[in-house]
Structure 1
Amino acid sequence: NVRVVFKGVRHRNYDLTYKMQALRRGSFEWKDIKYTYNPTMGILNTREGRIPCAVKVEVLPNIEILRKKGLRIRSTRLNPRNARSRIGPVSTDFDSIRGYTPGDPYRTINWKATARNSSTGPILVNQYEREGLHSTVFAIDNSPPMRQGTKEENPLESGIKLVLSFTSLLLNYQYNVGVWVMQRNSGIRRDVIMPGSGMEQYLRIRRRVMLVETVKLVPQV
């Protein structure tokens, strides 16, 4: 950040530009820029000052784009019941017939199957498949041992990059993805992002993991 400027006795305006390379992700804020002016001739005294510069910069994690090659995302079974979500919205695809349980919608009752069963048998209802695939929740451990190493390369930073990489991949396959930060940081209200889908969910997860830092565990007596 050292520049040499040639000027005469008059004042001169000079624009200074420089580039910075972020070494780690996070949210950074600059308030003032300090400068020092050293006359080369030694006639004038050194001048120092500050320039107000309120700038907030968000550095995104450098993630890797994972490819489906070598990764088995979809089930190879013809009817992958275990690959479907059990908590997503109900679709119109018929799954099976089961006994009635309190809370089942009235419109799902199968009157014909109930009548054929017996007059004293249980009421039967139609069960429909849930939309979407399995919900995946990533747990991020931000305890002190995860900070071993440098500020730029440590288990926590590697884990965050891995979480965002797999989040992007799974969301492309219509999975529901969520994140749980095991230790809540100060100033952060939510430590869990419920599973969701779409680009908004990815941006929500990315904003949350950008603020994850290791916390100091207080031993309980």
Structure 2
Amino acid sequence: ERTSRRVRLTSAGEAFLPAARECLEAADRARAEVAAAAGEIRGRLAVGAIPTVTAVDLPVALRDYRRRHPHVRITLTSAGSEALVERVRQGGVDVAFLGLPPRAEPKGVRSRRLGGGELVAVVPPDHPLAGQEAELRSLADESFIDFRAGAAGRAQSDEAFAAAGVRREVPFEVSSAELMVDLVRQGLGVGMLPAAYAPRFPDLRAIRLRDAPTRVEHLIWDNRPSPAAAAFLDLIGP
């Protein structure tokens, strides 16, 4: 439908659009599979990742992949674990790196466990427990900065505090580790980060916890990976 100012789809056009996109994606996949059969990887690789990936050096992995497969268009998006699972299910992302509580498993996708690790409490250098070892109950009177309630990045801490019998206050909910760290720097609360990720912020101090929350990192992909995605899975390894 065209007017003097803009062009927009009619209702019939909008109804046809998803099928048209599927046709284009199928054509792209067919071209990529033909190229792969001839020994050349082409097409698209859409990677998703939580911001705090530690099990894999993602920038190095992407660099190595590009060197091996220069004809693949690589994109990277950062989001929470739940959103990434949904994007892989819908086909918007080919492979994704997640962080989940130990008993959680990604559903509706194929997955591989990459490893697990503990979280530490992150505080300014002048905090009384900075650099020490403690238990979760010693933080009962603290205010916390964490991800939104219900998010996988929050659930791992909530479960551990509940198991320790600690009811904690989380007045600051954030969507990124960077904002969490900025608020910790200002003395507004205690953050919870993976122990392998916390050293990226040398101006802060970690409190190692004897009953620490833990998380497991997963690599997920669609049930029918494209040649480009399959090559990336091979690069990451078993």
Range into which the TM-score falls when normalised by the shorter chain: under 0.3
How does the TM-score come out when normalised to structure 1? 0.22
TM-score by structure 2 length?
0.21
| More helix, by proportion | 2
Structure ID, larger Rg: 1
